[in-house]
Amino acid sequence: MNRQSFLWQSAVLTAGITGFPSLLAKAKQNDIILGHQQKRYRLDTKWGALDFNRYPVKDCHEMVQDQFGRIILLTNETKNNIIIYDKKGKLVTTWGNDYPGAHGLTLFHENGQDVLFIADNNRHQVIKTTLDGKVLLTLDYPKDAGIYQSASEFVPTETAITPNGDIYVADGYGKDYIIHYNAKGQYIRHWGGRGSAPKHLKNAHGICYDGRDQQRPILMVTSREENAFKRFTLDGQYIDTIPLPGAWVCRPVIKGDYLYAAVLQTHQRQGQSSGFVTILDQQNKVVSNLAGSTPTYTNQVLQNMYQTLNVFQYPHDVCIDDEDNLYVAQWNSGHVYPYKLTPIN
């Protein structure tokens, strides 16, 4: 591609201009550049593609990178719940047949080893495993909390693990509580819950440990129906809300100074394959939207965000690797494998 063509497409795709979905059909795959400011990426939609007959996926829910540099995908396809790639997109291995509601995937480095936490909607459990699938711990619904009558009311979507091993479970499809356990899986407390006060949550879809301020580590929690993240202390005290108008955000993912999140869909276009990816800086200001509108603040208030290019259908998670490449897993998007986005310097 010549320089003039490159600059034209870059300008259009990074400016957040609506009305250009046909560019996807016209542009070669390696010509598609998404994002704004210092966070721009070249799209590769073929990176994770596999032989569907041998390695099928349903919903590609979440992804993490392990200490060996491998990219681990969680899908609710019980022929292979876990698919492990190298960074070039080559299949390494697969495992897992027991997680029909596989939804949340968190990696924690414990005593020199990586472990996984799988939140399963159908099983109403969180399962801790080794990287090759050996079960280490299972968390059932917290009877001791006194807020559930049965396991069916507990529908976990995500976990966050603090450096001391404490486990926080987001009951994002149940009663919207955050359940706090110690490293042994013993119940400590709960907070949040569905409601209209600032401390409450509406679709607590995701949660992560935010240690960017080492003097004041916090928990960042998704309140997806409110198009927001909410910040809490480690003992569950509400701090504040980060509004993300128009964005049905999934879980927050922190890498370095930045927070990354898949936006499942645009508020005004629910059920219309209107997702994108958003990136916030350390001051929790949106600096880039991939396939979304240019981040705009008026009197320090973020204006409504929306999809501008139909690159993604329903993005469900992002993973940022050790080279700052970005991977996107999608829900309900025609059984597509993950996409890879390479940063543009």
DSSP symbols for 15-61:
HT-SS-TTHHHHS-GGG-EEEETTEEEEEETTTT---TTTS--S-EE
What pTM did the predictor assign? 0.92
Q: 243 in a domain, yes or no? A: yes
Q: 6 in a domain, yes or no? A: no
Report the DSSP pairing between strands 71-75 and 60-65. Answer: antiparallel
Question: What domain range includes position 97?
Answer: 45-343
User: From CA 287, how far away is CA 294, in angstroms rounded?
Assistant: 8
Q: 159 in a domain, yes or no? A: yes
Geometric angle at alpha carbon 222, from 277 and 202, rounded to 5°: 125
Q: Is 335 exposed, middle or buried (0-12, 13-18, 19+ CB in 10 A)?
A: middle
Q: 177 in a domain, yes or no? A: yes
**CATH code assigned at 79:** 2.120.10.30
Q: 105 in a domain, yes or no? A: yes
Q: 246 in a domain, yes or no? A: yes
Question: Would you state the structure tokens that stand for residue 57, as one six-digit string?
Answer: 């996926």
Domain count, the chain: 1
Q: pLDDT tens, position by position, for the chain (345 residues)?
A: 333 333 334 444 444 433 444 445 555 555 899 999 999 999 999 999 999 999 999 999 999 999 999 999 999 999 999 999 999 999 999 999 999 999 999 999 999 999 999 999 999 999 999 999 999 999 999 999 999 999 999 999 999 999 999 999 999 999 999 999 999 999 999 999 999 999 999 999 999 999 999 999 999 999 999 999 999 999 999 999 999 999 999 999 999 999 999 999 999 999 999 999 999 999 999 999 999 999 999 999 999 999 999 999 999 999 999 999 999 999 999 999 999 999 997
User: From CA 198, how far away is CA 241, in angstroms rounded?
Assistant: 8
Q: 216 in a domain, yes or no? A: yes
